[in-house]
Amino acid sequence: MNHLLRTFLLTAEAELTTGEPTTLYNPLLDENGQFVDASEAVNNISSLWEEWDVLNKLVSALPSIIIAVVLVILGFVFSKLASKIIVKALSANHVDPSVYNFIKRFVSAGIKFIFILFAVSMFYDVNSIFVALGGAGLAAGIGLQDSVAQFASGIQILINHPFKTGDFVELNGVSGSVADIRFMNTVIKTADNKKIIIPNSHITTNHIINYSAEDTRRVDLTFSIGYADDIQLAKNVILDVVKSNSKILSDPEPVVYVNSHEAHSLSLVARIWCSGADYWDVYFAMQEDVKIAFDKNGITIPYNQMDVHIVNK
């Protein structure tokens, strides 16, 4: 403080001696080079000292500022590196790719938050920050209950793993292949190329049918023959068609039974097995091939008809 006042007084003396203003700010003189009164001089000196005090504090805090900046940069770099390592580890363990983005984003955000918190702790007490975040989180949770429920359902789907990307499923009355599993919803691509987005909370609170959960599927087919047709011949014809289709498995063994006696026909049910990916190919091929084989063997496929009997008295 004494050094600063001495500098100001020397500057004022130099101005009085030479009659020329100096470039250094002098709190004892006004803009015209005249001495100010005592109270104004004290205020000017106090203001100048406060400016120097702020500068001194800034200089003293410079190492902490540099460390904080380095911490933030390291946080972003390390989060990116950790995300790549986690994805490689998940891939090596054959984890569903739909989980990658969720875990990668979660880990990346967590690491960045921790490093930023360390940087902030260089200047502020982080306990007050936690209190503020807790209050904000409580308020956000009350106002965004539906969104929180969607997010929680998304985590439940990723943890319980009822289906994965590419599976053919039936969710909330919608059938199709799973295109993407997101935080808030699941995207289904239907067989006719429609994209349907289903909220995750609707999925976890309803039945889930996963047609791709097992490697093989059973195809149940029903064929009708006339009462006058040979039942054993019809069964043999169906089994011959089954054997000619290379996509149908021999184990479990295909079977054909008489299912029911209808008003105008006998109903035969064929139960055959195939790979899950070949289900629809087998289904449509059997519908066509059995009809052609029935025609060749004289087996009729009846349709609804009415017999009228005329009684002559």
Domain parsing of the chain, residue ranges = 163-210, 216-296
**For residue 108, what pLDDT is reported?**
81
Q: Could you give phi then psi for residue 69, rounded to 5 degrees? A: -65, -40
The whole-angstrom separation of Cα 104 and Cα 110 is 10
**For residue 2, what pLDDT is reported?**
43
CB 210, CB 164: distance < 8 Å: no
Q: What is the DSSP letter of 112?
A: H
**For residue 94, what pLDDT is reported?**
64
- Dihedral of the CA atoms 148, 154, 156, 159 (nearest 10)? -140
Please report, for residues 50, 218, 239, the alpha-carbon distance to residue 254 in angstroms, rounded to integers and kept in the order given: 94, 10, 7
The pTM is what? 0.54
**For residue 239, what pLDDT is reported?**
95
Encode burial over 138-160: b for 16+ CB neighbours within 10 A, e otherwise. eeeeeeeeeeebbbebbeebbee
Same fold, 163-210 and 216-296: no
**For residue 3, what pLDDT is reported?**
45
**For residue 131, what pLDDT is reported?**
65
**For residue 88, what pLDDT is reported?**
79
Fold held by 216-296? Alpha-Beta Plaits (3.30.70)
pLDDT, averaged in runs of 10, over the chain (313 residues): 47 51 53 62 62 58 76 84 79 66 76 80 66 62 64 76 86 87 86 90 86 90 93 95 94 93 90 92 95 94 78 79
**For residue 219, what pLDDT is reported?**
94
Find, among 38, 151, 52, 146, the residue nearest to 102 by Cα.
Answer: 151
The CATH code that applies to domain 163-210 is 2.30.30.60
DSSP string for residues in 17-51: HHSS--SS--TTB-TTSPBPPHHHHHHHHHHHHHH
CB 111, CB 75: distance < 8 Å: yes
CB 224, CB 262: distance < 8 Å: yes
β 168-171/174-181 pair status: antiparallel
